[in-house]
Amino acid sequence: MTKRSGSCLCGQVKYELKGEPIRVGICHCANCRRESGSAFTFYAIWARDDFAASGETTLAHNGQRFCTRCSSHMFAYDEDEAEVQLGTLNDAPTKLVPTYELWVKRREPWLAPVPGAEQHWEDRHTRRTGDDSA
């Protein structure tokens, strides 16, 4: 079984993941851009039972968790799933490839679509229709 681990910048918060993710994506929405400080967020979803964390976090917007010491944003979880920011994994490259992109209407024009990934105009339930009315 594959095992992965990650941590915040200062190392106070650590997490471990078992197995493969349920899905891997990138998101170009305004919130993800602001949270990451970049053009998109690269993340994956694991079953909650395959995720374990230690260290002190604070709960913020949309269930996101941040280290109380260095403020690194690493993950969010509920009773069913854990969403992990893949840039916080200890080993890079991750070899995980996005299978979908969200909010492509906000993708930077210089950034090409991920080959083979589903393209969603907004959330996972809105596929691109070719017009801006979605």
* Distance from C-alpha of 26 to C-alpha of 8, rounded to nearest angstrom: 20
pLDDT in tens, 101-120: 999 999 999 999 999 999 99
Q: What count of other Cβ atoms lies within 10 Å of the Cβ of residue 84?
A: 23
Residue boundaries of the structural domains of the chain: 3-119
Residues 6+ apart with CB under 8 A from 19: 1, 2, 46, 47, 50
Fold of the CATH domain 3-119: glutathione-dependent formaldehyde- activating enzyme (gfa) (3.90.1590)
pTM of the full predicted structure? 0.87
User: What pLDDT, on the 0 to 100 scale, is given for residue 63?
Assistant: 83
